[in-house]
Amino acid sequence: MILSRHDSVIRLPSPQIPPPRAHLWFKGVRVSASRRAVARAQRVGLLSDFRLRISDFRRHVRSFPKLGCCLFLTLYPAVQPTRAATVCPAGATLRGVDVSVFQGTIDWTRVRTSGVAFAFIRVSDGTFQDTEFSANYSGAKTAGVTRSAYQYFEPADDPVVQANLLLQKIGTLEPGDLAPALDVEVTGSQSAAVIVSHIQTWITSIEKATGRVPFIYTSSGFWNASVASGIFSGVPLWVANWGVSCPNLPTAWTNWSFWQYTDAGSVPGIPNVVDLDEFNGSARELLTLAGLPTLRIASASSGAATVAWPAASTNFVLQQISGLGTTNWVSVTNSAVVVGNENQVRISPLPVLQFYRLKAR
């Protein structure tokens, strides 16, 4: 995500603001605000949410990593948002990043080795294409980083044109790819009704083309104040909330899939500061979400075993082989039975040495 020409919500990291000015970092740009403005916001209970208005900010500026020294900014309190629930991770979590041209040339092998499991990669800002997308998207895949393409949403632009650009850039989703994500954090001077309508059109276009439900990236401050819709509660949430131990959710959602918890991270292989993210689940759950299910093999009585995988993964066939030195994988003919949220196949009698895999149909 980058600083846009439109209004964007920023968050203050702490109520302790040193005089005489408060310095805020927003997508790599330092913003200064008078202490009086901050104190006024504290008095009216708006400490956490401000709106950043950029005067005479031209679209082509977004193509440069550094914005220069002469950008005039006005900080003013935003509308008080509706308070939503704070939701902590349910259990295991995984580390991730989200990147764009502003992170520079990335060494994805080093990124993966450092423990990063997934990455959201910017394809464009509206129809303004990210020049590093192709290198980042292919590089992440090659290095074994689970990837997703995200698009910075411009509500004033045609949502179908934006969706088609993303689809053209990513091609066919492969097993192991996460669904695309829509970065919703500006109004584009549009009403909430228009924003909601354009989000829905974008989601419908992506879902029809990929067969996957995309993610929505947003923050509680922006969504509650500028969108205020609950119709996307079934869309997986990628929530932005920095400097907290657990994220505060927009009122439309009760849980989150991904959480962007800082915009000032450091990761080996990424030369510039980077957004850091967390997945609310295990490695197995991430792969399942990415359309690449994992097998679970459990021993049973009388020399039998049960091979299981998520029931939601319907486009895979179970195969077996007696030795890894051969390539003669054959399909398992035993019928799968759905038990709970799993497909289960009982193998009996159990071979002495047998390997199993799921292959995409």
Tell me whether residue 185 is one of the annotated catalytic residues.
yes
Contact 268, 95 (CB under 8 A): no
Three-class secondary structure of residue 264 per DSSP:
strand
How crowded is residue 253: how many other Cβ atoms within 10 Å of its Cβ? 23
| DSSP-assigned letters across all residues of 26-82 | ETTEEEEEEHHHHHHHHHTT-SS-EEEEETT--GGGGGSS---S---EEEEE-PPPP
Three-class secondary structure of residue 20 per DSSP:
coil
How crowded is residue 159: how many other Cβ atoms within 10 Å of its Cβ? 24
Element (H, E) at 318: strand 316-321
Tell me how far apart the alpha carbons of residues 54 and 300 are, in angstroms, rounded to a whole number: 65
- In this structure, the dihedral spanned by the alpha carbons of residues 73, 77, 78 and 79, taken in order and rounded to 10 degrees, is -160
Identify the active-site residue in 185, 263, 277, 342: 185
Tell me how far apart the alpha carbons of residues 247 and 259 are, in angstroms, rounded to a whole number: 7
Identify the active-site residue in 98, 125, 277, 278: 98
Identify the active-site residue in 49, 125, 154, 183: 183
Tokens (6 digits) for 201: 């059109």
The beta strands (E) that lie in 154-246 are given as: 181-183, 215-218, 237-240
> 20 preceded by cis ω (within 30°)?
yes
> Which residues does the annotation mark as catalytic?
98, 183, 185
